[in-house]
Amino acid sequence: MLGTAPVYGEEGNEVRVGIDIGGMSVKIGLVDKQGIAAKSVIKTASASQTPYELIEQMADAVSSLLRENSVEPESCEGIGIACPGTVDAQSGIVAYSNNLGWENVAILEAMRERMAVSTPMALANDADAAALGEVLCGAAKGKDSAVLLTLGTGVGGGVIMNRKIFSGFLRGGCELGHMAIERNGRRCTCGRRGCLEMYASATALMEHARAVAAEHPQSLLCTLSGGRISDIDGKVIFEARKRNDASAGLVVDEYLENLSIGIANIVNIFRPEIVILGGGVSAQKEYLTRELQRRVEGKCFGGTHGQIPPIVTSELGNDAGIIGAAYLM
């Protein structure tokens, strides 16, 4: 559990740095066995900013955070970076990140040069790092295996096996959001059709709800959004469904059905001890997971003759990526 700031220098209380890069900001945390003791945030600049300009900002922010907390860089156990997209952990290169517009960015080399330190550094996909964070001290604490799905702009996925990130044996990692759940379905940003991301992301949920609201202007979807269809978000959608609005019910039922297909596929392949949901949609907590659990149990191979893992929501929220990144070394 995250607690009060630790006393640095205590025996066995090593200090690490976790960096979580997002499309809008970069979150940096000073992490030890008690959790995140200090944090700073960098707002990402416009598209005109080069990757290496942002990396310089990150390096300077890490140096400042260490200095402000009286931590010598040489005493830091490691600096871990979580980045969206396809990463090559061995070479320390972000091969491709659509969210950032990056391609073949040597992020670890650039960080080392800017900081001029010998501190160990590591790189991972952001969903992988978040999954590791949840296993270390979040919703999957005490588990050896877990799968995390982040339900936000897209659908990210992280797989943990034997308390370590499993990303396969070739560069590219486990892109769970890009399994196809419908042949010749909706066109995905990855170029394929029918990807889970096009049906189970928060974006997909809101797009469907806005289309339905346009056809049914008397629905609570319109009322709760003040008549502004473009303002319909996940909170409005689930609130309308809780009030038994028929239009919202159709939207949420289809969303849950599609998401349950993806989760059942994941369970059939990995058989994890637990499935964790993160991202904006996970704010619905038990209202979301209770019905998903029922639907998934009916779709998994063997049904109740096998073991169906519990489906829960993230405990660490936006801190999961920072903590996971800090413990990549």
pTM of the model: 0.89
Amino acid letter for position 251: V
116 Cβ contact partners less than 8 Å away, ≥ 6 residues apart: none
Mean pLDDT confidence for 292-317: 93
102 Cβ contact partners less than 8 Å away, ≥ 6 residues apart: 51, 85, 94, 96
- Tell me how many helices (H) and strands (E) the chain has: 10, 13
Say how far residue 308 (Cα) sits from the centre of its chain. Answer: 23
Task: Please give the pLDDT value at position 219.
Answer: 97
- Spatial separation of the C-alpha atoms in residues 249 and 113, rounded to whole Å: 54
Amino acid letter for position 156: G
pLDDT classification of 43: cutoffs 50, 70, 90: confident
Task: Please give the pLDDT value at position 13.
Answer: 65
SS3 category, 96: strand
Task: Please give the pLDDT value at position 24.
Answer: 83
Q: Which token pair is 126? A: 């952001």
SS3 category, 175: coil
Mean pLDDT confidence for 48-70: 94
Q: Which helix (H) or strand (E) holds 130?
A: helix 126-137
pLDDT classification of 303: cutoffs 50, 70, 90: confident
SS3 category, 271: coil
SS3 category, 27: strand
pLDDT above 90: percentage of residues in the chain: 81
Task: Please give the pLDDT value at position 26.
Answer: 95
Task: Please give the pLDDT value at position 47.
Answer: 66
pLDDT classification of 3: cutoffs 50, 70, 90: very low
Mean pLDDT of the chain: 92
Mean pLDDT confidence for 246-256: 98
- Spatial separation of the C-alpha atoms in residues 105 and 217, rounded to whole Å: 47
Say yes or no to pLDDT of 7 above 60: no
Say yes or no to pLDDT of 11 above 80: no
Q: What is the pLDDT of residues 187-197, one digit of tens each?
A: 998 889 999 99
Extended strands (E) in 117-221? 121-125, 146-151, 155-161, 164-165
Q: What is the largest CA-CA distance in the chain?
A: 64
Q: Which residues pair with 278 in a beta bridge?
A: 150
Say yes or no to pLDDT of 12 above 70: no
Task: Please give the pLDDT value at position 1.
Answer: 29
123 backbone dihedrals φ, ψ, rounded to 5° = -135, 145
Q: Which token pair is 192? A: 């394929």
Q: What is the pLDDT of residues 49-59, one digit of tens each?
A: 899 999 999 99
For the ranges 31-35, 138-142, 257-261, the lowest mean pLDDT is seen at 31-35
Block residue for tokens 């955070």: 65
Q: What is the pLDDT of residues 118-163, one digit of tens each?
A: 999 999 999 999 999 999 999 999 999 999 999 998 999 999 999 9
Task: Please give the pLDDT value at position 5.
Answer: 34
Angle at which helix 234-242 crosses helix 246-270, to 10 degrees, equals 110
